[in-house]
Structure 1
Amino acid sequence: LAYYDTLTGMFTRHGFFIHARGLLETFKARDEDFVLIQMNVRHFRIINNLYGMEKGNRLLVLLAERIRSIKPKESIAGRVGDDVFVVVMPRHDFYAENWERMLWRVEQEAGEDVFHVHIHAGVFMGDSVNIPLSRMIEYTWAAQETIMDDPQSHIAYYRPGQLKKVRRARALINVFEKAIRRGEFQVYLQPQVDRHGKVVSAEVLSRWVTASGEIISPGEFIPFLEQTGQIVRLDHYVWGQAIQLLKKWEGTPFSHLKLSLNVFPEDFDYLDVPDTLCSLADMYGVPRNKINVEITESAIISRSALRQRVADRLVEAGFELEIDDFGKGNSSLNTLRNIKAQTLKLDMDFLKIDEDSSMRGMIIIESMIHMAKLLDMTVVAEGVETNAQRDALLEMDCDLLQGYLFSKPIPVAEFENNLQKSWHEGKCPVCRLEEV
């Protein structure tokens, strides 16, 4: 029992470390390079929660069988975590295309039991057995983290420096809950302006500001919160802070403003999003039509039937639903047909408008705006950075604009001060790019 996993028949972590070390010593004696590949199932805990441990176990057994069928004779394989499998083999026996094909086939076969499965692998190419096995596995984790948000990629290779970044992120995750309790996560707002330059709404974002005043970039901690499921905790906190802000603005010059809240795909897996937002709005006595709910198009496409029902419930509850990042990645017109969203948000980082834009690109953007208008949808363009982009979008009859041309995401107090100043001066609150 100490050496073999009763579910998959593979070595346990203890058994793997003992036998893999012996194999590595063999490679050392032959002066032979080796490969360590580590594989795990993305959001395996969610699969267990949604579909039950029996189906989760079937997936693990299937993956173990496929690993055994493909690994070379001179290799050691083990299940070293709940859904973590590791293989050590000679470098000359490692063919990435075979492993990638195997992982893809497991995903397809498992899809008959579980709606959507992603399996990622990290690879460490070794030439020295003096590195501890635990460190090598850390290297494969660091490599894997680089593709965790890319369902099209299966294998990533460790590069020097990746481990330092992962350790930094893990250190942040370890203090995450304390940071929330201390109020270190602050609401930032990025204004959305209409064609007359009037701020009518803002997207709610968050920044981690430590007790020492360090601002931690979302790019550092958001991906790891998503991978661990803790993004749900942060989202719930930020939604509550934003709704309290709307309550605070009642009876003030800011009372006309709406706020857009982001919903991550993981929120659907852990929360009843409509019930949660309804409870928060009702708790603070905020009209639901003051709250826009942003859901990315890719999140809707994944498990579309389930999330379509959730989207319908949000609209029925009185929230304004926004399809975010439309035009980025796998756009589907079925999304617009099936989801009764009121707002379409175009990603201008993907749909570039500048002096070098092709006529074809401009026609696509204008057609998307025209299509949304025929569906009686408001169109928001985010990522607007230049006057040329602004002018082109307004010419295309885009309703609202958002981006660094107008303001970067800023703290609430700064947002309020900027608006009050612009009202006092009677000017459009547009920042010059060099000041942003």
Structure 2
Amino acid sequence: MHGTYNLWLVAASLVVASLASFTALDISGRIAMLQQSRMRHVWLAGGAASMGIGIWSMHFIGVLAFELPIPLGYDFGITTGSLVIAIVVSYFALWVINGAKLTARRLIISSVAMGIGIAAMHYTGDAAMQMVPAIQYDPWLFAASILIAIGASGAALWIARTLADVTQDKVVEKRLIAAVVMGIAITGMHYTGNAAANFLPNSICGAANSVDGRWLATTVALFTLAILSITLVLSRYDARTSVLAGSVSRLNGQIVRMASFDTLTDLPNRRTMTERMERAIKNALAGGSRFAILFMDLDGFKTINDSLGHTVGDEVLKAFSKRLLQCVRGGDTVARLGGDEFVVMLENLNVPTDAEKMAERILEVMRQGLVASGHPLQVMPSIGIALFPQDGASVDELLKHADVAMYEAKRGGRSTYRFFEASMNEAAVRTLQIQQALHDALGSNFFYLLFQPKFRGKSGELAGAEALIRLNHPELGMLGPMEFIPIAERSGQIVQIGYWVVRETCKHISQWRTEGRPPVKVAVNLSPRQMTETDLVQNMIRIVREQGVSPDLIMFEITETVAMQDAPRTIEMIHAFQESGFEIAIDDFGTGYSSLAYLQRFRAKQLKIDRFFTNGLDENGQEGRAIVSAIIALAHSLDMDVVAEGVETGSQLDRLEDMMCDEMQGFLLAKPLSADAFGDLLVPKTVSA
């Protein structure tokens, strides 16, 4: 007995198969996105039901497309059984796709199991017709249909697993194409199975009165389309919601991380370090243990920022943080508090020397140097160490005391470490008081200038003066420059103080000129911190112009040690000063490490002999005189004038005059004078008739 096919229903079965395949691909991608086990099981069950109904309905639409010259029907129980098989097979497929790694062996086994399940669904559906006599199947086509089912299952599993990643490009387009291919494979299996069925003459459908074929076709088609459409809509909506929720979650995570970690170095920031220190204090109190705080600051970091730029400075900070992480133990914390300040917390210390060993290790590693943006640099920290519980019982105390010890390390020569001591706290309080006094002094006129005269050698005529700053604070009293200048240098306040000195010097020069006194050259010291200012020369020019003073009346003194820290930059700055009309003197000569080649390139106007060598004229006999004589001869050979500082005895004065020293200053000749007193020295001598 031969049958015919309704081509519209054949086309409908292909559409349903493709739609079911696309739904399966979409659901597999949705399940792959889920993290919660409970939700994965919900979508596995729902997806299996939707996918199973789709495959099952494709089968029955295909069966209904086949027409025989006898009434046909389907047993409800057996039909329901075939649907259950389809759903179970679909669940198995989704479970395989979203399970462990899909190896070749796992793919083959899963394909065989799924293919046999689909074939079982198909032939169970045929059995629902309850044909009498029973349907006879062609063995070759029967075997071919099972092989096609296995092959289609393998292809479907591999494609679904490949397209489960929603982050790949054009994933929807790829799934549409794959769904059509999978739909063709599934319908191909079905119609191969139909071709294998032979209906004997005079066959009767035992279920003809059970379920009407036309009613079943309409119901199955509409029901399937509704189920698949709803499933797709839910999957799409849930996926978008999950993506949005994931984006919000990631954004929240980024915000939390930004609040907890330094954005440049990715180290814990001050807030996180504070929390970890609080936890370490509780643990130490509970367990009787102790820990150490290593507070460090990079020596000369501002010079790197000013000379090489902030980009290189940032690279230095990142490279330094990586080196720190290599030095510490696994349970230690490394944090960046801000700027070039870093903190290491060493927990569970056995003995205080463990902290000392860590500091030595950090210094040793940093001595190897680092490369930032192609620049080889040696960046060394000064380290202060505070121990819990003896150096503080709170986070603030520990950080403060470690900071105090760090500054003591800087005062001790930099690139070293110091343990906190109680005496340091007193010094730190004094330092803070002086810092505040310096801040107040600029706005409240607590600073004032003295002028130490300089005299020419043989003639004894007044040659000029050196401006010396003093501080008289209403609460702290008189502060000597040796006490407040180093603090101003470290805090950076020296820059504005230096500009104040030049401005005040210019005011006095203008005042002396207004009083009819002759012009005089005044020397002003430049500090190491001022030398790092990129706009130093321009600011000095602006100040003298505002005060109406000629630049040739100002001589800037640069110590030999500072001049040689960055000799090429010093040469550039000296030449810029000279081109603007200022004169330059090299101060404290003999205490540094000048290269004669650089000394020649400086082209300074004066060379000032340090008071150590001046004192040596009396104390060191012939050797002391030979050194001073050599310095004077060297300076004269380079067309530089020589000024001797600290002349305090008549014998020193006599020897310097004999050696042809150009100028001298010291207490023997004149002590530092007020502006008015020095102005009195500027009265021109009366020429007698």
Q: Shorter chain as normaliser: what TM range?
A: 0.7 to 0.9
- SS of 1:38 mapped into structure 2: strand
Q: Give the Cα–Cα distance (whole angstroms) in 2 for the partners of residues 392 and 125 of structure 1.
A: 57
- Distance in 2 of aligned mates of 1:408 and 1:31: 61
Kept in 1, the 8 Å contact 2:448–2:470? The answer is: yes
What is the rounded CA distance, in whole Å, between the counterparts of 2:552 and 2:404 in structure 1?
Answer: 43
Matching of residue 299 in structure 1 with residue 299 in structure 2: no
Q: Structure 1 pair 129/259, CA: closer, same or farther in 2 (3 Å)?
A: closer
Aligned equivalent of 2:141: none
Partner of 2:576: 313
* 1:192–1:199 CA contact under 8 A, matched in 2: yes
After TM superposition, list the pairs within 5 Å mapping 1:28-427 onto structure 2.
34-42=291-299, 44-45=301-302, 47-89=304-346, 90=349, 91-94=352-355, 95=357, 96-106=359-369, 109-110=371-372, 113=375, 117-125=379-387, 128=390, 130-148=392-410, 153-174=415-436, 176-195=438-457, 196-211=459-474, 214-250=477-513, 254-349=517-612, 352-353=615-616, 355-357=618-620, 359-416=622-679, 419=681
Give 1:62's aligned amino acid.
Answer: A
Please give the alpha-carbon distance, in whole angstroms, between the structure 1 residues aligned to 2:629 and 2:373. 38
Question: What's the TM-score once normalised by structure 2's chain length?
Answer: 0.56
- The DSSP-based 3-state class of the residue aligned with 2:608 is strand
> Aligned equivalents of 2:390 and 2:646: distance in 1?
47
Query: What residue identity is the alignment partner of 2:429?
Result: R
In structure 2, C-alpha distance between the alignment counterparts of 1:161 and 1:150, rounded to whole Å: 15
Note if contact 1:297-1:335 (Cα within 8 Å) is conserved in structure 2. Answer: no
Preserved CA contact (<8 Å) 2:512 2:679:
no
Note the C-alpha offset of 1:247. Answer: 1.7
Q: Which has the higher strand share?
A: 1
* Count of residue pairs the alignment pairs up: 422
Aligned partners of 2:297 and 2:406 also within 8 Å: no
Give the secondary structure class of the aligned counterpart of 1:87. Answer: strand
Match of 1:431 in 2: none
Q: Give unmatched runs, 5+ long, in structure 2.
A: 1-256
Give the deviation of 1:340 after TM superposition: 0.9
Shift of 1:217: 2.3
Note closer, same or farther for the CA distance 1:416–1:149 as it changes in structure 2 (3 Å cut): farther
> Residue 429 of structure 1 aligns with which residue?
none
In 2, the alpha carbon distance for the partners of 1:300 and 1:14 equals 41
**Cα distance 1:316–1:281, how it changes in 2: closer, same or farther (>3 A)?**
same
Residues 186-209 of structure 1: CA distance to partner in whole angstroms, max 9, x if unpaired? Answer: 112122222244332111121122
Once the two structures are TM-superposed, the CA of residue 251 in structure 1 deviates from its matched residue by 6.5
Partner amino acid for 1:401? M
Equivalent residue, structure 1, for 2:267? 10
d(CA) in 2 for partners of 1:380, 1:38: 43
How far 1:30 sits from its partner (Å)? Answer: 6.1
The alpha-carbon deviation at position 236 of structure 1 amounts to 1.0
* Structure 2 CA distance for partners of 1:242 and 1:72, relative to 1, 3 Å: same
Residues 1:388 and 1:20: Cα distance change in structure 2 (over 3 Å): farther
Structure number with the higher helix fraction is 2
Which segments of 5 or more consecutive residues in structure 1 lack a partner in the other structure? 425-436
Worse overlay, 352-361 or 375-384:
352-361
**Alpha carbons 1:24, 1:129 under 8 Å: kept:** no
SS at match of 2:586: strand
Structure 1 35/42 Cα, relative in aligned 2: closer, same or farther at 3 Å?
A: same
CA RMSD, 1 decimal: 3.1
In structure 1, distance between residues paired with 2:374 and 2:548: 44
108-117 vs 45-54, which moves further: 108-117
SS in 1 for 2:676: helix
Going from structure 1 to structure 2, the CA distance change for 1:333 and 1:232 (only over 3 Å counts) comes to: same
| Segment drifting more, 228-237 vs 70-79 | 70-79
| Residues 150/162 of structure 1: CA separation in 2 closer, same or farther (3 Å cut) | closer
Q: Do the aligned partners of 1:207 and 1:217 also contact (CA within 8 Å) in 2?
A: yes
Change (3 A) 1:104 1:414: farther
Relative to 1, partners in 2 of residues 1:374 and 1:93: Cα closer, same or farther, differing over 3 Å? Answer: same
Give the AA of the match of 2:498. Answer: D
* Residue-by-residue CA offset, 1:335-394 (whole Å, 9 max, x unaligned): 312111110012123664154316444322221111101111111121333334333333
- Rg larger in 1 or in 2? 2
Say if 1:31 and 1:361 are closer, same or farther in 2 by CA, change over 3 A: farther
Distance across 1 between alignment mates of 2:261 and 2:338: 13
- Counterparts of 2:283 and 2:542, CA distance in 1: 62
Of 199-208 and 330-339, the range deviating more from structure 2: 330-339
Shift of 1:114: 7.7
Paired amino acid for 1:100: L
Structure scoring higher RCO (CA < 8 A, sep ≥ 6) equals: 1
Opposite residue 167 of structure 1, the aligned amino acid is V
Moved more, 362-371 or 133-142: 133-142
Instruction: Write the deviation string for residues 138-170 of structure 1: whole angstroms up to 9, x where unpaired.
Output: 223223323536766432333332222223332
Percent of counterpart pairs with the same letter?
26
